[in-house]
Amino acid sequence: MVKPRAKLRVKRRHTGRNLSILAIVVAVVVIVIAVSGSLIQQVPTSFPLFVHVYDKNKAPTWQDVTRQDQLVLNVTVSVSGPNGVGFTHVAPYGIIAGPDPFPAGTYNVTVTKAGFSPNFVLYALGPNCADKTPDGNCHVYIPMSETRTF
């Protein structure tokens, strides 16, 4: 007795279609990763600090400072902050920048000059610092008053 032979069915190969689908999926994944990476902005951890020292008898508020003669010249500026970060320098023209960007934190900014009452402020340096310019620099404005001797 002869056994009936089983019929072999040859399945169509879908290799071309599968490779096309794989290529599309890979392209979509690459695009999604690229777009999501470009949307994530890196938040800086250190910030440039500029100190402006003005004579409050010549400019009642820092917004009123419009001329060089309203700044206190040759003033000593001391900045101290977390982990001993800081500097002390003379600001010949009443404005000085820190030597390097400082890490975010609270800084004590003190200004002194003979003939003026010393002054200080606590300044929160960071991504949301007061008086931040569009380029990311933080500015602290400190008024000083001349001491009058009678």
d(CA 111, CA 130): 19
> Does 76 lie in the same domain as 32?
no
Q: Is residue 4 part of a domain?
A: no
Tens-place pLDDT, residues 95-149: 998 888 899 999 999 999 999 999 999 999 998 888 888 888 999 999 999 987 6
Q: Is residue 96 part of a domain?
A: yes
> Does 136 lie in the same domain as 67?
yes
> Does 55 lie in the same domain as 97?
yes
> Does 121 lie in the same domain as 56?
yes
In sequence order, what DSSP letters do the residues of 73-115 get, joined into one string?
A: TTEEEEEE-GGG-EEEEEETTSEEE-SSPEESEEEEEEEE-TT
> Does 53 lie in the same domain as 17?
no
Amino acid 92: pLDDT: 93
Tally the domains of the chain.
2
Tens-place pLDDT, residues 37-87: 666 667 678 889 999 999 999 988 888 888 889 999 999 999 998 888 889
> Does 23 lie in the same domain as 79?
no
Q: What is the CATH number of the domain that holds 87?
A: 2.60.40.1120
pLDDT level of residue 91 (50, 70, 90 thresholds) = very high
pTM of structure: 0.68
- Domain containing 18 equals 12-41
